[in-house]
Homo-oligomer: A and B are copies of this chain.
Amino acid sequence: MIDLLPSWRPGATRDAVEAFLAASRDLPVDQRVAVLDNDGTLWCEKPGYVQYDFLVAQLHAAVAADPSVGERTEYRALLAQDKALLGELGLQRVAMALLELCAGVTPEEFTDRVHRFMAEAVHTRGVPYPKLVYQPMRELLGALRAHEFSVFVVTGGGTEFVRAVSAQLYGVAPDDVVGTLVEYHYAEHDGHPALERTAEAYGEVNEGPAKVAHIQTQLGRRPVFAAGNSGGDRQMLEYAAAAGPPSLALLLDHDDADREYAYTSKAVSFAETEAITDVARREGWTVVSMRDDWTRIFAA
């Protein structure tokens, strides 16, 4: 028999995953629905979100073309790495300012920009960004597909960034990504219909309860498997867990300071009073110790 999970160390966690996969064979295929968070679940989110690095790279490119762009307060704070000012402005305001750098751009051009970034930029770990994918999670995606699951990525980040990379990184088609939506404006270019990005989000940021609502509005299918790593994934994990049996809620615990990072995620947008790992243990979710349960974190 082929080992679908070679980077998963034998033990209780791996047993729980395999028991769920075996039990899923009793479900009709159309009910085999898996949702996975992206940042910190499928790939590394430290020291910062990849998407944020991408937007900062857009800022550097814009300033290189026109230095006056850098005079805006949010951009000045970023360029000077002025942590006090960035803290004062807040992540939300800075992120919205960065989004404006892509306003007016067509979906095709935005995708090209993401592809160039992924091909050229180097992460602080000294590797290209595609190397940040967790190898054991890539194997898990394959194992889910081998059991005829439909696999969806449900990200708190911008949908368009993730769908520009999801086929390459995860084999997930653009239409199988649920995230925070940026609105498009319908326009004409040279007499042909075209779309232009706006700098406005469409609906709520895809975190917490909104993840569950958007899974319904955008997919219309209820997951029996969910994987996440932060407070922003809590409701999605609860929703999947309650759909069973069989069901599996998998929470990654970033407890490997040597090979990755050691931290306990909390949702940005929610006042969680309890560490998500404690919630997971109380709820009976399957907690993945990245240190103990994985023989390796990255592919190479």
Contact = CB atoms under 8 A, between A and B. Distances in A.
A220 B175 contact: yes
A284 interface: no
A175 B30 contact: no
11 contacts: A152-B175, A160-B220, A174-B219, A174-B220, A174-B221, A184-B213, A186-B210, A192-B238, A193-B239, A195-B216, A202-B203
A64 interface: no
A163 interface: yes
A141 interface: no
Interface in A133-168: 150, 152, 159-160, 163, 167
A30 B202 CA distance: 26
Contacts of A212: 184, 186, 193, 195
Contacts of A150: 173, 175
Interface in A183-209: 183-186, 192-193, 195, 202-203, 209
A210 B183 CA distance: 10
A242 B193 contact: yes
Interface residues of A, number: 40
A107 B239 CA distance: 13
B107 A220 contact: yes
Interface in A207-250: 209-210, 212-213, 216-222, 235, 238-239, 242
A218 B218 contact: yes
Given A203-B203, A218-B218, A213 B175 contact: no
Contacts of A173: 30, 150, 221
A56 interface: no
